[in-house]
Amino acid sequence: MKCIVILFAAIGVITADVISIQPFHQGHYQQQQQTPQPLPQAYPGDNNVPIINQDQVINPDGSYKWSYETGNGIAAEEQGFLKNQGAGENEAQSAQGQFHYTAPDGQLIQLQYLADENGFQPQGAHLPTPPPIPEEIQKALEYLATVPPAIPDVKEYIRH
């Protein structure tokens, strides 16, 4: 359920209008009139974006599926189900889906994700990736994995 909320929040942020916040000035100040600059639009026309397609199915067993597509090229879909239903603490909601939209700079943003007991696992070409591990450190990690753990001297902890 948390993953669904996070997804809807992410989609809301993605599709929300940009809000201009003026900085706070302490002391005596004079407010200046600013001319609003037009924001780049990923779609032509006004701000009324039609919903082209929307589908939602919720089943009694906890599984569901939803999807939508808007007139400005935003599309999203998700399907989910309850893993280990009736198993108490071993129950887990699993969801997988995807969405795509065009960023203001014209780049197509596509994201696929899986959300389950292992967390939210997104995949997309626009997501940052960690730098490669330097060869020397990789060799050291491989060596450390082969070394047995040190066993503390038990005699140190026994009182006589």
DSSP 70-88: ETTS-EEEEEEEEETTT-G
| C-alpha to C-alpha distance for 28 and 99, rounded to whole angstroms | 48
Q: Where is average pLDDT lowest: 19-28, 57-66, 70-79, 94-103?
A: 19-28
pLDDT above 70: percentage of residues in the chain: 66
What is the pLDDT, as a whole number, of residue 89?
A: 78
pTM for the full model?
0.53
The predicted-structure confidence for 1-58, as pLDDT tens digits, reads as follows: 555 656 555 555 555 544 444 444 444 444 444 545 444 555 555 678 999 999 999 9
What is the pLDDT, as a whole number, of residue 1?
A: 54
